[in-house]
Amino acid sequence: MAPVGKTYPSFEYEVCKEKIREYATAVGETEPVYHDAEAARSAGFRNVVAPPMFAVVYSAGAMGPAILDPEVGIDLMRMLHGSQEFVWSEPVCAGDTITTAAEFKDLYEKSGRNFYVFESVSKNQDGAEVVRATWTNVVQGG
């Protein structure tokens, strides 16, 4: 089993306007700042702004290897998504390059279930943190 504290290679994601628009449409976000660059600039953003939960899109490339790490040993057939917690900072806009790093933060047992806790930190091209996330996966003991 991977030791708590194990870190994973960073993943870089170039945010494009069309991906933001597609995501916003898919989740029912109709605010113009998610679709129109002029509306976003008028609202004080650099470009079309990503909805907050777009964080899942640019974090996936870092989180996938962590969750699938054979050393961590998550039994995917028994895994249940437990929770996600996000703390947002700098808005993510079209044209940004987001780099996300992941770490295996904790493993504990409660009521016959194992709780695997990961943290990801995403920063933009200027080094400003855009979101810090805690991802918890629950696995029923066997």
pLDDT tens for each residue of 40-74: 999 999 999 999 999 999 999 999 999 999 999 99
In Å, how far are 1, 9, 109, 116, 142 from 14, measured between CA atoms?
33, 17, 37, 28, 41
**Token pair for residue 123?**
């920063």
Q: What's the pTM value of the predicted model, to 2 decimals?
A: 0.92
pLDDT tens readout for residues 66-95: 999 999 999 999 999 999 999 999 999 999
**Token pair for residue 62?**
């870092």
Residue 142 has pLDDT above 70, yes or no: no
Please give the Cα distance from 26 to 47 (Å, whole number). Answer: 20
pLDDT at res. 2: 65
pLDDT at res. 102: 98
Query: Domain segments of the chain: what residues?
Result: 11-15+50-140
CATH entry, 11-15+50-140, from 3.40.50.1220, 1.10.3470.10, 3.30.365.10, 3.10.129.10: 3.10.129.10
Residue 116 has pLDDT above 90, yes or no: yes
Please give the Cα distance from 140 to 114 (Å, whole number). Answer: 6
> Nearest-CA neighbor of 14 among 97, 94, 122, 93?
97
Report residue 10 CA to chain centroid gap: 12
Please give the Cα distance from 109 to 60 (Å, whole number). Answer: 25
Mean pLDDT calculated for residue range 14-30: 97
> Nearest-CA neighbor of 93 among 64, 58, 62, 60?
58
pLDDT, greater one: 3 or 63: 63
